[in-house]
Structure formats: structure tokens, C-alpha cells
């Protein structure tokens, strides 16, 4: 018979285990250690601080207010802001290289381009500064015995397999979580995964000869092309990390671009203003892997009061709203709030409230991310859509408390939940659909009949 694990303690000194030292696992380690817990983290990959970041490639993410709040909760937001580049607006590049612009929010509101590798390394450094935190790299979770509370790990370098007992486990092991795989085998666990018929390819827009940015630095660049798009976020060294989101199959697709000549002529025809800034594009297209895009939903996220999923392990989403990591950091904020409220003697309540509070919000975020895919690849190229956004900006300025654009609710309003943001966004979109037939140019907004309609829609007396 297996030896029984030690009796479970319920105080803040209870040792906790986290699976995965990615973005969410390393931030969670900080939160739990600050609460006084000894925290043991296991990570499948080698230590990125020793290996060189992700094979030396720069990959960046957009960090916004929910993420900043998660980082501020352990006092690290300002350190990270120093290495972020604020992006105040979208810059759209059409097929002739003409530019249009769309601010993200009000003046001074920005999302931040942050290097994924350095953010992860900074969080690992900070977590390891806590004497209570121990991170062991190169340890892959192979199996999980939920009732027996035992991890079956493989030391990746030697292949040696060993067991570790835990009292409480947090699964922050990403979209293809091994912790979640064990939960999926328990009774009445729902699970779905939905792939887009699109993949993505990371490419580089080079820095200028003196390390200068060759496109507007403080912006997120978009090349919307109907059923596909390319985006680019700035790096500190003057380069941009570009990502092509592209169908796997079809006329214009990964399948259709088989040779360097195919790639060169496709880019020259499709992204004429970007190509001169992408001297390595053909090599990179074939050297860099094609990533897939998946939405994962599951429930429950907890097993009794002993295991809890967070981050992509619980709710992986497509990247088009730039919210996956932000949502994962918000998980850390919410878990910490619930621990403040109920204390570590009530893990069952904490886990129950966590999954019930977060699930509708991360489901809404998953829908929003899919919705934004269409907006980014297609609608941002439509002058009527850009006019609608300008009119929404005017309504928002005229009725500041009453009308907050959907993007701002999701990105800059961490006190509004994702589900509330999505519901309000849908209500506002319905109003815009009624209003826009009366508006042909920006100045029409001032027309008395349009003002009357807006007043009526917003029930202004
Ligand atoms: C192309 C792209 C662009 C994105 N852009 C943005 C953006 O702009 N803004 C944003 O907020 N989000 C973005 N995201 C989403 C973001 O990357 C994820 O939401 C975030 O990385 C989730 O963090 P995590 O810690 O939950 O998972 P991960 O970052 O995946 O970390 C999981 C960790 O667990 C480890 N692990 C996995 N399996 C095991 C195992 N069996 N045993 C031990 N360890 C294991 C992994 O090695 C990894 O280190 C983007 C995603 C993609 C794909």
C-alpha cells in the first residue's frame, strides 16, 4: 500500500506546489511565498536564464492594465514598466503602404510591448529571491495521482522518473497542461478545444543601421488583409517582432507557400512597405515553426480542495485581444483576494469561489478574442468601421461615465470584469448599428437629429 501523505495543515506555512514556471506559475509563486508559504515549483524546460531566451528569438506580448495590476500586487510592476514600450495606437498599413491610425484609448493610455523571455526571467529572479521558493527545472509531470496526491515526474536530462507527494497543487502548466489532463479523467469534467484554421509565424522587422525603429515606435502595427493579417510590436533594440496569422490551407496559405520564391513574391505583393525592412523574411519563414491557435475551455478547475488550475491550463485563448497572459495574471490577483477574504483554512471555499468567479469571465474573454480576430484582420481596413470608432470616441467624450468603448473596458478597466465588458460592448454595438446609418462623415455627429438619437439611446433627459 502507498504510504499516506502527512496530515494536511491549513495555515499559511503549508507547503504548496506549482506545476509550470511560465508567466503565471512564476508570478503565482511570488504571491504564495509573500503569504508565507514554502513554494516548490517544477518546470519541464531548462532554466531560461541559463539557456538563452527561447533560442535567442525575441517574442513580445502586449501587457495591459489587468496584467499590471497582477504585477503591482507583488510590487514588481514599475521594474517591468522600465523595459516595456508603450503603444498608444494601432497603425494600419494598407496594400499600397498608406497608413491609418486608431488610438487605443484616451491620451496617455497605452498597452505595453514586453519581451516574453525577459518578463519570465525577471519573475523567476524575483521568485527565487524569496527564501521560501524553490524552482526545479527540467522536471516534467508525467502522471498525477489525484486521490493519492502524488506527482510522477521525469528528470528530463537523465530520463529518471520519481514521485513527489504534495498537499496542494496549482496547475500553471499552460495550454497542454498535464495537471488538467488528470482532472479530465475525473467524473463530470467538461473539456473542449477548438483550433482555428490559421497558424502563426514569428518574423522580424529589422532595426535601422543606428538601432533606430524603422516604423513608428510607440504603436502596434497591423497589415489587415481580409482573411489574414500581420502585426508587429516594437522591441527595445529598434527591431519589431512581426507575426503573420495565416490560413493553413487555401489559395493564400502556408500550404501554398512552398519555396523561397513563393514566399518572396507573396510578401512583396502583400506587404510592400514592410518587405524592405524584413531582409531575413524568406529564411525566417522556413526556419521558424508554425504555431497553432487554440481555445481551450474546461470545468471544473479544481479537484476537491487539493488541486487548482490557473492561466492557460484553465483557459487558453487565441491571441487577438492580447489578453491571455493578462487574464492569467488576473487569476493571481483574484486568488490572492480570495485568500485574503477567507484565509488558508478555507481552501475549499477559496477554490470553489475562484473557479465560479473566473469561469464566466474567461469564457467571455475567449469569445472576445475570437471576435477581435475578425476586427483586426478585416474590419480595421474598412473606412466605415474607423468612422464608427471615431463616433464612439465622441460619444465617450460627451458621456464619459456612460459610454466606455469595448476595447477600453477590456484593456484599461480592470475593475470591470471581462463578462461585464463583453455584455456592455454588445449593447453598445447594437446602438451603433442603429446610429451609423445616420452618419456619413464625422461632422454628422453634431447634427441635431443625430444628437437627439444619441440622447434617446442613452436615455439622457
Ligand atoms: C502568438 C501568441 C501571442 C500572444 N500574445 C499575447 C499578448 O500580446 N498578450 C497577452 O496577454 N497574452 C498573449 N498570449 C498568450 C500568453 O502567451 C499566454 O496566455 C501565457 O503565456 C499563459 O501563461 P501560463 O503561465 O499559463 O502558460 P505558459 O506560458 O505556457 O507556461 C506554462 C509552463 O508550464 C510548463 N509545462 C508544461 N507542461 C509541463 C509538464 N508536463 N511538466 C512541467 N512543466 C510543464 C511549460 O514548459 C511552461 O513553462 C499570446 C499567445 C500566443 C500563442
DSSP letters spanning 35-91: TT--EEEE-SSPPHHHH-GGGG---EEEE-HHHHHHHHTTT-HHHHHTT-EEE-EEE
Percent of the chain with pLDDT over 90: 90
Confidence class for position 379, pLDDT limits 50, 70, 90? confident
Q: Give the mean model confidence (pLDDT) for residues 280-291.
A: 97
197 within 8 A of 249, measured Cβ to Cβ? yes
Return the CA Rg of the chain: 24
Q: What's the rounded Cα separation, in Å, for the pair 445 and 1?
A: 76
- The pLDDT, as a whole number, for residue 180 is 98
Q: What's the rounded Cα separation, in Å, for the pair 60 and 245?
A: 15
Using the atom order of ligand 1, give the atom closest to the CA of residue 323.
11
| ω into 300 cis (within 30 of 0) | yes
Confidence class for position 13, pLDDT limits 50, 70, 90? confident
The β-bridge relationship of strands 190-205 and 85-87 is: unpaired
- The pLDDT, as a whole number, for residue 44 is 97
The β-bridge relationship of strands 307-309 and 169-171 is: parallel
Residue 271: pLDDT over 60: yes
- The pLDDT, as a whole number, for residue 8 is 39
Confidence class for position 375, pLDDT limits 50, 70, 90? confident
Report the alpha-carbon angle 150-42-114, nearest 5.
Answer: 145
364-369-374-377 Cα dihedral, nearest 10 degrees:
160
DSSP structure class, residue 7: P
Question: What separation in Å is there between the alpha carbon of 328 and the centre of ligand 1?
Answer: 9
Query: 3-class DSSP state for residue 168?
Result: coil
- The pLDDT, as a whole number, for residue 68 is 98
C-alpha neighbours within 13 Å on the C-beta side of residue 223: 22
Question: pLDDT, tens digit, for every residue of 168-214?
Answer: 999 999 999 999 999 999 999 999 999 999 999 999 999 999 999 99
Residue 106: pLDDT over 90: no
169 within 8 A of 280, measured Cβ to Cβ? no
- The pLDDT, as a whole number, for residue 181 is 98
Question: What separation in Å is there between the alpha carbon of 451 and the centre of ligand 1?
Answer: 46
Percent of the chain with pLDDT over 70: 95
Report the alpha-carbon angle 286-289-294, nearest 5.
Answer: 140
Residue nearest to atom 15 of ligand 1 (CA): 324
C-alpha neighbours within 13 Å on the C-beta side of residue 187: 2
Q: In the numeric block, which cell numbers belong to residue 59?
A: 517574442
Q: What are phi and psi of 244, to 5 degrees?
A: -95, 120
Q: What's the rounded Cα separation, in Å, for the pair 267 and 265?
A: 6
- The pLDDT, as a whole number, for residue 51 is 67
Question: pLDDT, tens digit, for every residue of 43-61?
Answer: 999 999 996 545 456 699 9
- The pLDDT, as a whole number, for residue 292 is 96
Span of 37-51, 135-149, 351-365 with lowest mean pLDDT: 37-51
Cell 535601422 maps to which residue? 208
Question: What separation in Å is there between the alpha carbon of 250 and the centre of ligand 1?
Answer: 29
Q: What's the rounded Cα separation, in Å, for the pair 322 and 144?
A: 32
Q: What's the rounded Cα separation, in Å, for the pair 26 and 123?
A: 6
- The pLDDT, as a whole number, for residue 156 is 98
Question: What separation in Å is there between the alpha carbon of 261 and the centre of ligand 1?
Answer: 34
- The pLDDT, as a whole number, for residue 394 is 94
Cell 504510504 maps to which residue? 3
Alpha helices in 174-304 (DSSP H): 178-184, 260-270, 281-287
Within 6 Å (CB) of ligand 1, which residues are found? 19-25, 42-45, 61-62, 140-141, 172-174, 178, 200, 243, 291, 311-313, 319, 322-326, 328
The β-bridge relationship of strands 16-19 and 85-87 is: unpaired
Residue 12: pLDDT over 80: no
pTM: 0.95
Question: pLDDT, tens digit, for every residue of 386-444?
Answer: 999 999 999 999 998 899 999 999 999 999 999 999 999 999 999 999 999 999 999 99
Residue 3: pLDDT over 60: no
Question: What separation in Å is there between the alpha carbon of 115 and the centre of ligand 1?
Answer: 13
DSSP structure class, residue 85: E
First-to-final CA distance of the chain: 75
Q: Give the mean pLDDT of the chain.
A: 94
Residue 316: pLDDT over 70: yes
Query: 3-class DSSP state for residue 255?
Result: coil
Q: What's the rounded Cα separation, in Å, for the pair 353 and 339?
A: 10
Question: pLDDT, tens digit, for every residue of 55-104?
Answer: 456 699 999 999 999 999 999 999 899 999 999 999 999 999 999 999 99
Residue nearest to atom 19 of ligand 1 (CA): 324
Q: What's the rounded Cα separation, in Å, for the pair 392 and 387?
A: 9
Amino acid at each position: 500500500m502507498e504510504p499516506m501523505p502527512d496530515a494536511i495543515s491549513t495555515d499559511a506555512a503549508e507547503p504548496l506546489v506549482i506545476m509550470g514556471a511560465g508567466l503565471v506559475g512564476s508570478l503565482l509563486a511570488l504571491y504564495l511565498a509573500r503569504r508565507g508559504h514554502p513554494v516548490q515549483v517544477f518546470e519541464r524546460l531548462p532554466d531560461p536564464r541559463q539557456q538563452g531566451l527561447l533560442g535567442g528569438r525575441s517574442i513580445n506580448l502586449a501587457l495591459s492594465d489587468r496584467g499590471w495590476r497582477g504585477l503591482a500586487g507583488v510590487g514588481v510592476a514599475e521594474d517591468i514598466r522600465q523595459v516595456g514600450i508603450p503603444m498608444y495606437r494601432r497603425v494600419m498599413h494598407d496594400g499600397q503602404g498608406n497608413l491609418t491610425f486608431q488610438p487605443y484609448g484616451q491620451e496617455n493610455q497605452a498597452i505595453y510591448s514586453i519581451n516574453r523571455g525577459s518578463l519570465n526571467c525577471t519573475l523567476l529572479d524575483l521568485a527565487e529571491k524569496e527564501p521560501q521558493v524553490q524552482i526545479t527545472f527540467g522536471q516534467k509531470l508525467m502522471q498525477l495521482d489525484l486521490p493519492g496526491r502524488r506527482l510522477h515526474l521525469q528528470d528530463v536530462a537523465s530520463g529518471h522518473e520519481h514521485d513527489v507527494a504534495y498537499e496542494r497543487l496549482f496547475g500553471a502548466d499552460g495550454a497542454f497542461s498535464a495537471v488538467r489532463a488528470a482532472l479530465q479523467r475525473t467524473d463530470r469534467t467538461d473539456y473542449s478545444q477548438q483550433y482555428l484554421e490559421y497558424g502563426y509565424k514569428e518574423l522580424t522587422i529589422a532595426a535601422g543601421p543606428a538601432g533606430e525603429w524603422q516604423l513608428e515606435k510607440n504603436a502596434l502595427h497591423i497589415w489587415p488583409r481580409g482573411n489574414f493579417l500581420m502585426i508587429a510590436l516594437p522591441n527595445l533594440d529598434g527591431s519589431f517582432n512581426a507575426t503573420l496569422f495565416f490560413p493553413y490551407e487555401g489559395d493564400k496559405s502556408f500550404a501554398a507557400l512552398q519555396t523561397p520564391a513563393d514566399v518572396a513574391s507573396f510578401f512583396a505583393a502583400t506587404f510592400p512597405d514592410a518587405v524592405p525592412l524584413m531582409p531575413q523574411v524568406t529564411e525566417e519563414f522556413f526556419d521558424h515553426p508554425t504555431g497553432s491557435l487554440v481555445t481551450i475551455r474546461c470545468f471544473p478547475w479544481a479537484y476537491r480542495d487539493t488541486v487548482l488550475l490557473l492561466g492557460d491550463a484553465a483557459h487558453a485563448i487565441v491571441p487577438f485581444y492580447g489578453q491571455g497572459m493578462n487574464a492569467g495574471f488576473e487569476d493571481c490577483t483574484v486568488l490572492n483576494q480570495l485568500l485574503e477574504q477567507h484565509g488558508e483554512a478555507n481552501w475549499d471555499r477559496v477554490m470553489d469561489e475562484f473557479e465560479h468567479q473566473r469561469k464566466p469571465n474567461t469564457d467571455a474573454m475567449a469569445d472576445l478574442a475570437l471576435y477581435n480576430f475578425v476586427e483586426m484582420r478585416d474590419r480595421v481596413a474598412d473606412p466605415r468601421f474607423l468612422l464608427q470608432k471615431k463616433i464612439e470616441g465622441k460619444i465617450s467624450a460627451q458621456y464619459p461615465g456612460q459610454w466606455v468603448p469595448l476595447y477600453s473596458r477590456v484593456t484599461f478597466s480592470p475593475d470591470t470584469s471581462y463578462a461585464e465588458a463583453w455584455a456592455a460592448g454588445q449593447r453598445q454595438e447594437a446602438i451603433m448599428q442603429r446610429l451609423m446609418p445616420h452618419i456619413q462623415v464625422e461632422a454628422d455627429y453634431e447634427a441635431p437629429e443625430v444628437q437627439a438619437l444619441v440622447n434617446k439611446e442613452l436615455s439622457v433627459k
